[in-house]
């Protein structure tokens, strides 16, 4: 059968794709008549795709051809406008990733659905389900077994945000394989893998196919497609252009089908051949070093493109990031003869260094913003007048760059997240070129980009060099380095071991130099020990419980200092009084943390506390119905929590706006109910609340017990995993099948119910129906959450830290009379401590990101 006869019309099956299960195996993934439209884009046009048991079926096409959209439909992450999806012979009834997974579909996404604030083990547990793992308690052991075949030291207890990008993809792949799926979708799975890991990965894919699964393999790397797949389908402009036997179609023909035209030339003429390289060195690096590389020296002239190559893990990534000011280093870097301060990306940018990152989504583009806003992000001064950004200038500048670089987008106002990877990368390049950099540092510039877009990116980089920039490219693609670079530096064990120039710059030469290097890494015993100690310290600092340890130390130090000045500070009366005041703060702080963990905020906790006190003052009194009053305040708390949760989760309203409105409403209601304080609480109730065990109030014991129970649930239950998952990355949590609306709703409900016991303690402390003293607890709860080291963006925090923070805040206020300080210090000191803690944790997060 010839290639021409294999080419099927859009919307029809190719001749090789028969419907006879006996001939090639049963159809395990059947997509029929899939239509998908977005505003301004017809992404999929009546697409059919059938993948059979026991085959790897490649899906190839340009960025924006519709491949990832089609797979989103197949995996239940996106509902098609028209068409049907069958997995393992059963229909996918709704757009539900959990349903697709239950039918036997696993997926490795180009943008891994990993939750950065959760550990590797927790990510895999959420990905495959708690039941399959055998319980959260054995998650680490189960995950270690699944990761062992990859030969990489990936700590199951490490946060995903703290492991390298390559390891994140291994986790994503291992998670999908652990499902033992009937259908496995692999969307650009090898883009971040070394050649050794690619071979291991291919071996695992073959094992999966031999077990009877169907595999959909999406990749821009045509040689890999030819190696691994039995058949391939070409998708262009949202339409099927043909299905072929992989052995019967050449790489050149595939490329032509993918881009719809012949490629006359892949690489532009090198500067060394065209004579466009300048005489002076634009970038000079002398004896640059860090923990990952040593004594690196080289220079790049204007108009020159220099490549960095070598086996992954030999310091190339750390070197290029250090040059961009994103990593620590020592030595000297000069640009156009001027020294550049190391360790600061701001100073590097001011010196004229522009960095194009490998992690496009994480560091390259601002996903919530438009294409135009992304393009002008580095040159806002040129589209502003007196500091006011002019939309007309942004639109005009963006349109010029869109036309110049061939960015495929409906308009400059289109959100950049809706563009394909190749077009997002072009937008990054447009932003870089607008800044007219002296030096361009490009890390894997064509990663995840199709053949046509690669040619455009090569042309753009060459033009930037011809205009006078010095360009340094880090790439794992030997062909790319051979075709684009004037020189290539080979790194091994953190050192430059060879320089290739002229005709020696070849794929074979690069591979030979990288694989035959015999250099030994420079290291001393002292430094190794020091490094191990630093690693342990960094691991501890990254944990959620380190703030609690720090706060606990401060609490003890303050207690010793104050008691040295006044012996009555440690009296039984003062300790009991302090702990009784701490109890409601622990509960309200815990309530705030529950919402913050789910990427929310609740400004209404203080007024809710006062509202419950006032409501209770009508019934929980001598002669009243105490039990009815308790049921009433429980119902009131639950109602407020449900209102807050419903408005934020159902309508997507800002939590600050919703809870601020609730704050004002509750305050108005309890003032209307009790314009003046009234309603004396029943002595029998207040006596129970004020009970003590020795000098320890029972209320404090209960509050600590609740916080500890919440901490255990946060780490060991599905509720805790889903709450942190949602707070860490809502879009990934939704793709993993987590009921995000329910999770968010329940967080506000639980927060309101945690305010309830705090209100009961306040009843005993105030003794009368007065809601005004409780309003201040809103700010106090925020103070406690910040001191506890929780991320206000969600996903991270500790209830143990809440206990320590609450004790410290109340201890500071309690200690003032013993220190001879006046009442105004009750406001000043907590504010100063909160700001200091916020600055400390911000610096700590910055240090984490650099390491």
Question: What pLDDT was estimated at residue 501?
Answer: 93
| Average pLDDT over all residues of the chain | 87
Q: Are residues 303 and 241 in the same domain?
A: no
By CB atoms closer than 10 A (0-12, 13-18, 19+), residue 837 is: buried
Helix (H) or strand (E) holding 215: strand 214-218
Q: What is the CATH number of the domain that holds 35?
A: 3.40.50.300
Helix (H) or strand (E) holding 629: helix 626-651
CA dist 255 and 250 (Å) reads 9
Q: Are residues 649 and 725 in the same domain?
A: yes
Residue positions counted in the chain: 851
Question: What pLDDT was estimated at residue 531?
Answer: 52
CA dist 491 and 677 (Å) reads 76
DSSP summary character for residue 849 = H
Cα 49 to chain center, whole Å? 32
842: in domain: yes
Q: Are residues 281 and 243 in the same domain?
A: no
Residue entry with tokens 């929980």? 620
Segment 819-834 shows an average pLDDT of 78
- Of the segments 381-390, 405-414, 696-705, which one has the largest average pLDDT value? 696-705
210: in domain: yes
> For the segment 101-110, what is each residue's pLDDT rounded down to a tens digit?
899 999 998 7
Q: Of the candidates 644, 607, 608, 609, which has an alpha carbon nearest to the alpha carbon of residue 747?
A: 644
120: in domain: no
CA dist 445 and 427 (Å) reads 12
- Of the segments 175-179, 493-497, 506-510, which one has the largest average pLDDT value? 175-179
Residues in contact with 379: Cβ distance below 8 Å, sequence separation at least 6, in sequence order: 397, 431, 434, 435
Residue 228 in tokens? 């691994």
Range of the domain at 508: 271-352+437-520
One-character DSSP codes across 503-570? GG-SHHHHHHHHHS--PPPP--HHHHHHHHHHHHHHHHHHSTTHHHHHHHHHHHHHHHHHHHH-GGGG
Q: Are residues 497 and 567 in the same domain?
A: no
Model confidence at 22, pLDDT cuts 50, 70, 90, reads: very low
> For the segment 164-216, what is each residue's pLDDT rounded down to a tens digit?
878 898 999 999 999 899 999 998 888 778 778 888 899 999 999 999 999 99
Within 13 Å of residue 546, how many CA atoms lie on the same side as its CB?
14
Question: What pLDDT was estimated at residue 838?
Answer: 74
User: How many domains does one find in the chain?
Assistant: 3
- Of the segments 32-41, 190-199, 630-639, which one has the largest average pLDDT value? 630-639
Question: What pLDDT was estimated at residue 837?
Answer: 76
Segment 702-728 shows an average pLDDT of 95
Cα 627 to chain center, whole Å? 47
144: in domain: no
Share of the chain above pLDDT 70, in %: 92
Residue with more model confidence, 290 or 831? 290
Q: Are residues 679 and 824 in the same domain?
A: yes
Beta carbons within 10 angstroms of residue 517's beta carbon: 18
Model confidence at 523, pLDDT cuts 50, 70, 90, reads: very low
Q: Are residues 34 and 74 in the same domain?
A: yes
Asked if the model's pLDDT at residue 75 lies above 50, the reply is: yes
Q: Are residues 475 and 580 in the same domain?
A: no
> For the segment 339-359, what is each residue's pLDDT rounded down to a tens digit?
999 888 889 999 999 999 888
Question: What pLDDT was estimated at residue 532?
Answer: 52
Asked if the model's pLDDT at residue 517 lies above 70, the reply is: no
Q: Are residues 207 and 276 in the same domain?
A: no
Residue with more model confidence, 226 or 830? 226
Residue 116 in tokens? 């950065």
Asked if the model's pLDDT at residue 829 lies above 90, the reply is: no
Segment 403-421 shows an average pLDDT of 86
Question: What pLDDT was estimated at residue 844?
Answer: 65
For β-strands 105-108 and 56-60, DSSP reports them as unpaired
Asked if the model's pLDDT at residue 447 lies above 60, the reply is: yes
- Of the segments 229-238, 262-271, 534-543, 827-836, which one has the largest average pLDDT value? 229-238
Question: What pLDDT was estimated at residue 536?
Answer: 60
Residue 484 in tokens? 């684009």
Asked if the model's pLDDT at residue 754 lies above 90, the reply is: yes
CA dist 349 and 257 (Å) reads 41
296-301 sheet: strands from edge to edge: 296-301, 281-289, 330-335, 338-339
**E runs forming strands in 651-738:** 678-680, 692-693, 696-697
112: in domain: no
Q: Are residues 775 and 683 in the same domain?
A: yes
Beta carbons within 10 angstroms of residue 153's beta carbon: 8
Helix (H) or strand (E) holding 226: helix 222-228
> For the segment 685-710, what is each residue's pLDDT rounded down to a tens digit?
999 999 999 999 999 999 999 999 99
Asked if the model's pLDDT at residue 288 lies above 80, the reply is: yes
Model confidence at 539, pLDDT cuts 50, 70, 90, reads: low
Q: Which residues of 779-813 are buried (b: 16+ CB within 10 A; e: fewer)?
A: bbbbbbbbbbbbbeebbbbbbbbbbbbbbbbbbbb
Which three-class secondary structure state does DSSP give residue 67? helix
**Boundary residue ending a domain (259, 287, 320):** 259
CA dist 49 and 232 (Å) reads 10
Q: Are residues 213 and 317 in the same domain?
A: no
93: in domain: yes
> For the segment 765-783, what is each residue's pLDDT rounded down to a tens digit?
999 999 999 999 999 999 9
143: in domain: no
Asked if the model's pLDDT at residue 459 lies above 60, the reply is: yes
Q: Are residues 292 and 241 in the same domain?
A: no
Question: What pLDDT was estimated at residue 315?
Answer: 86
| 3-state class percentages of the chain: helix first, strand second, coil last, to nearest 5 | 55, 15, 30
For β-strands 487-492 and 305-309, DSSP reports them as parallel
Q: Are 293 and 315 in contact (CB under 8 A)?
A: yes
Asked if the model's pLDDT at residue 582 lies above 90, the reply is: yes
Q: Of the candidates 365, 329, 361, 364, which has an alpha carbon nearest to the alpha carbon of residue 347?
A: 329
Question: What pLDDT was estimated at residue 518?
Answer: 54
Question: What pLDDT was estimated at residue 19?
Answer: 45
**Boundary residue ending a domain (520, 552, 582):** 520
**Boundary residue ending a domain (467, 494, 520):** 520
Share of the chain above pLDDT 90, in %: 54
Residue entry with tokens 């890991």? 197
Q: Are residues 277 and 255 in the same domain?
A: no
Q: Are 827 and 779 in contact (CB under 8 A)?
A: no
308: in domain: yes
> For the segment 129-160, what is each residue's pLDDT rounded down to a tens digit?
888 888 888 888 999 999 988 888 888 988 99
Model confidence at 827, pLDDT cuts 50, 70, 90, reads: confident
Helix (H) or strand (E) holding 441: strand 439-443
Question: What pLDDT was estimated at residue 265?
Answer: 57
């Amino acid at each position: 059968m010839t290639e021409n006869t294999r080419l099927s019309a859009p919307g029809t099956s190719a001749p090789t794709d028969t419907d006879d299960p006996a001939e090639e195996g049963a159809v395990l993934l059947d997509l029929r008549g899939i239509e998908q439209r977005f505003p301004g884009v017809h992404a999929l046009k009546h697409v059919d795709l059938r993948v059979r048991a026991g085959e790897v079926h490649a899906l190839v096409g340009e960025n924006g051809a519709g491949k990832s959209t089609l797979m989103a439909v197949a995996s239940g992450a996106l509902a098609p406008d028209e068409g049907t999806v069958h997995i393992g012979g059963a229909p996918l009834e709704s757009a539900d990733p959990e349903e697709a997974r239950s039918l036997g579909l696993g997926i490795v996404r180009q943008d891994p659905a990993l939750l950065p604030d959760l550990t590797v083990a927790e990510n895999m547990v959420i990905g495959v389900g708690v039941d399959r793992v055998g319980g959260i308690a054995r998650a680490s052991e189960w995950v270690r077994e699944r990761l062992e075949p990859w030969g990489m030291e990936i700590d199951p207890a490490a946060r995903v945000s703290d492991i390298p990008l390559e390891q994140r993809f291994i986790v994503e792949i291992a998670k999908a394989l652990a499902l033992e799926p009937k259908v496995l979708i692999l969307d650009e799975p090898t883009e971040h893998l070394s050649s050794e890991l690619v071979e291991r990965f291919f071996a695992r894919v073959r094992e999966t196919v031999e077990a009877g699964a169907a595999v959909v393999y999406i990749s821009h790397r045509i040689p890999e497609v030819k190696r691994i797949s039995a058949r391939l389908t070409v998708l262009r402009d949202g339409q099927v252009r043909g299905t072929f036997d992989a052995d019967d179609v050449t790489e050149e023909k595939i490329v032509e089908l993918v881009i719809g035209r012949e490629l006359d030339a892949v690489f532009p003429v090198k500067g060394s051949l065209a004579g466009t390289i300048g005489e002076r060195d634009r970038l000079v690096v002398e004896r640059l070093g860090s923990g990952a590389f040593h004594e690196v020296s080289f220079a790049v002239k204007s108009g020159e493109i220099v490549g960095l190559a070598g086996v992954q893990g030999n310091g190339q990534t750390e070197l290029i990031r250090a040059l961009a000011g994103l990593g620590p280093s020592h030595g000297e870097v000069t640009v156009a003869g001027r020294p550049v301060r190391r360790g600061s990306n701001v100073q590097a940018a001011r010196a004229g260094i522009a960095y194009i990152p490998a992690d496009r989504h994480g560091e390259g583009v601002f996903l919530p913003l438009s294409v135009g806003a992304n393009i002008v992000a580095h040159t806002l001064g040129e589209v502003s007048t007196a500091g006011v950004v002019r939309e007309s200038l942004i639109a005009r500048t963006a349109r010029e760059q869109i036309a110049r670089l061939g960015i495929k987008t409906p308009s400059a106002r289109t959100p950049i997240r809706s563009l394909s990877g190749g077009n997002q990368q072009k937008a990054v390049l447009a932003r870089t070129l607008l800044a007219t950099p002296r030096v361009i540092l490009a890390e894997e510039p064509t990663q995840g980009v199709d053949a046509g877009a690669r040619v455009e990116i090569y042309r753009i980089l060459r033009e930037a060099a011809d205009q006078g920039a010095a360009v340094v490219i880090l790439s794992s693609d030997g062909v790319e380095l051979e075709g684009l670079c004037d020189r290539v530096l080979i790194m091994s064990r953190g050192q430059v071991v060879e320089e290739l120039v002229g005709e020696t710059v070849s794929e074979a030469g690069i591979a030979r130099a990288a694989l035959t290097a015999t250099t030994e890494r420079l290291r001393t015993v002292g430094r190794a020990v020091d490094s191990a100690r630093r690693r342990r310290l960094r691991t501890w600092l990254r944990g959620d419980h380190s703030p609690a340890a720090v706060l606990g130390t401060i609490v003890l130090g303050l207690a010793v200092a104050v008691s040295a000045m006044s012996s009555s500070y440690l009296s039984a009366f003062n300790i009991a009084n302090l702990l009784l005041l701490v109890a409601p703060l622990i509960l309200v702080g815990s309530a705030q943390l529950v919402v913050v963990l789910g990427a929310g905020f609740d400004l209404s906790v203080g007024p809710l506390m006062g509202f419950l006190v006032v409501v209770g003052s009508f019934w929980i009194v001598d002669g009243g119905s105490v039990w009815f009053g308790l049921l009433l305040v429980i119902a009131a708390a639950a109602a407020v929590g449900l209102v807050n949760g419903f408005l934020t989760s159902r309508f997507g309203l800002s939590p600050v706006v919703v809870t601020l409105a609730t704050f004002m409403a509750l305050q108005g209601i309890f003032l209307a109910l009790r314009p003046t304080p009234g309603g004396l609480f029943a002595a029998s109730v207040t006596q129970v609340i004020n009970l003590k065990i020795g000098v320890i109030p029972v209320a404090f014991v209960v509050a600590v017990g609740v916080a500890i129970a919440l901490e255990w649930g946060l780490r060991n239950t599905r509720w805790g995993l889903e709450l942190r998952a949602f707070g860490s990355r809502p879009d990934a949590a939704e793709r993993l099948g987590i009921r995000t609306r329910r999770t968010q709703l329940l967080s506000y409900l639980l927060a309101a119910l945690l305010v309830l016991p705090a209100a009961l303690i306040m009843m005993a402390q105030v003794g009368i129906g007065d809601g005004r003293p409780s309003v201040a607890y809103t700010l106090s709860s925020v103070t406690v959450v910040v001191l506890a080291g929780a991320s206000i963006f969600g996903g991270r925090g500790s209830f143990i830290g809440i206990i320590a923070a609450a004790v410290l805040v109340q201890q500071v206020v309690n200690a003032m009379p013993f220190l001879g300080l006046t009442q105004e210090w009750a406001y000043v000191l907590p504010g100063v401590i909160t700001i200091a803690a916020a600055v400390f944790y911000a610096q700590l997060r910055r240090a984490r990101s650099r390491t």
